[in-house]
Chains A and B, each alone.
Chain A
Amino acid sequence: MSMPYYVSPEQMMKDRADFARKGIARGRSLVAMQYQEGIAVIAENPSNTLRKISEIYDRIAFAGVGKYNEFDQLRVLGVRAADLKGYQFSREDVDARGLANQYAQMIGQVFTHEVKPLEVEILIAELGKSAETDQLFHVMFDGTVLDERRFIVIGGDPESITQHIAQSFSAAQSLQECILLARSALSPSEAPLTAGDLEVAVLQRNANRRCFKRITETQLATFLD
């Protein structure tokens, strides 16, 4: 008679976490931070069509690192949930906290119950009426939610980037200063990233209703000059 082999729950969770962490570490990092007029999200992304940063709702942005197909599915789920809630109730009732919790629940569920955990980490940013009410949520591969202030770094090698940004971060920085800071933090030591290597989008406080704006490559190039 063959014995079913035993794996302790501790070992199983550790294996899964290691697996997910490895998958995410292969990808590149992205940064979201406050600036003078709102929140900017800056990602290293050489692709011009497969986006890491996108719009969820009027004042909510989404960004993901790790496996593209996995976080893109999460993005669509978020857009659907937000649009339905806004249609059913009111546009003001759609908030990032609810969305982040929902994501956390789902990602956590997959982490413990499915064969393979999701190899993603996501960021949900909500633009408040003022800088004090801005919200940044970080949802990890196992469903842990972190609520961050001022700026947030996800994916790749977050510790060194966080340190780099913390040194010179100021919430009163202009968009250009903010992009330059993010570039220097994200760039490997040898060569700085160019406009073609970066994807930048902002949630702009003075906008009418839909605050999400992409910064085009040409605009970005003028900022980086």
Chain B
Amino acid sequence: MNFLQFSADQDPGANFGELLKRVGLSPFASVPQSILEDMPHATTCVAVRCSDGVVMGGDRRATSGNLISHRGMEKVVQADDFSGVAIAGAAGPAMEMVKLFQLQIEHYEKVEGQSLSLEGKANQLSMFVRNNLPAAMQGLMVVPIFAGYDNDINQGRIWDYDATGGRYEERDFVATGSGQLHASTVLRVSWRRDITTQQAVELVSRALWEASDADSATGGPDLLRGIYPIVATITHTGFTRIDDTALAGIYNAITTGVQQR
């Protein structure tokens, strides 16, 4: 462990990303074209606003070309007590971005003595996505969704991003990744303004199911191995991941429904 001291104009303040740059550890560097074809990619993620906050969900599959490279990837991650990130895109840079984002939020909170506002966190993530632009131009695109419970206005909020760091707050719901079209169609048809948290959990599971049914790069519930998509709620009590037994029940109902079509 070494203490680093900076002159006033070089001091990174509470910015962990800048601190990494000063010590030459920044992960945002350009990558040669040749290794890009076979990188694992992550796929469908959704976020839905509901009466008590937001519900986020994401499938577990990562693919490299036409191969399944990973069956248990966690694409929906808790960012801090009241927010979460879901990521679609190149798995390596995406996971690194999430790790760095979690750290940035914590680092800021510790250095400044209070945590960033939800809007501030959304903005910070936007900067990370923008920093990744050179890599995105070479094919390592990372497109996250950020969602959280805003304690100042007592409601859930959702943001999605484009590869240039563009940040768009969504009112109702959002989907990202290769199964985005199928998932967002399900959401568009069934979303209601007064949807409860439980209904939203079911709706998110449904959207992920339909996406996995039509998109080969999105994984459905893997009953054989007991791997279910990740679904999490964020309300005034914080971030809670729905456990697998509850999800097994929901997916059981969905598959039974599909059989009886």
Q: Enumerate chain A interface residues (CB-CB to B < 8 A).
A: 51, 54-56, 76-77, 79-88, 94, 98-99, 102, 106, 210
Partner of B107, one of A51, A79, A88: A79
Within 8 A of A (CB), among B1-29: 1-5, 16, 19-20, 23, 25
B172 touches A (CB below 8 Å): no
Contact with A along B108-122 (1 / 0, CB 8 A): 001101000000000
Closest to B107 in A: A83
**A77-B5, A102-B1 known; A84 and B113 CB under 8 Å?**
no
Cβ contact within 8 Å between A87 and B5? no
How many chain-B residues does the 8 Å CB contact rule pick out?
18
Q: Can you identify 24 A-B contacts, CB atoms within 8 angstroms?
A: A51-B113, A54-B110, A54-B113, A76-B111, A79-B111, A80-B4, A80-B19, A81-B1, A81-B3, A81-B4, A82-B1, A83-B19, A83-B103, A84-B4, A84-B19, A84-B23, A87-B99, A87-B103, A88-B25, A98-B1, A99-B1, A102-B2, A102-B3, A210-B106
A56 and B106 CA atoms in complex are apart in Å by 10
Nearest-neighbor residue (CB-CB) of A106 within chain B: B3
B95 CB → nearest A CB, Å: 13
CA distance A56 to B5 in the complex (A): 17
* Residues 181 to 218 of chain B near chain A (Cβ within 8 Å): none
**Closest approach, in angstroms, between the C-beta of A141 and any C-beta of chain B?**
17
Please determine whether B4 and A77 come into contact, CB atoms closer than 8 angstroms: yes
**Closest 6 A-B residue pairs measured CB to CB?**
A98-B1, A79-B110, A81-B1, A77-B3, A83-B107, A85-B1
Q: Which residue of A lies closest to B81 (CB)?
A: A210
| Nearest CB in chain A: distance from B93 CB, A | 16
A99 cross-chain contacts in B, Cβ below 8 A: 1
Which of the listed residues A76, A84, A106 has the most CB atoms from chain B within 10 Å of its own CB? A84
Query: Per a CB cutoff under 8 Å, which of B25, B100, B106, B111 touches A84?
Result: B25
Cα separation A86 to B99 with both chains bound (whole Å): 11
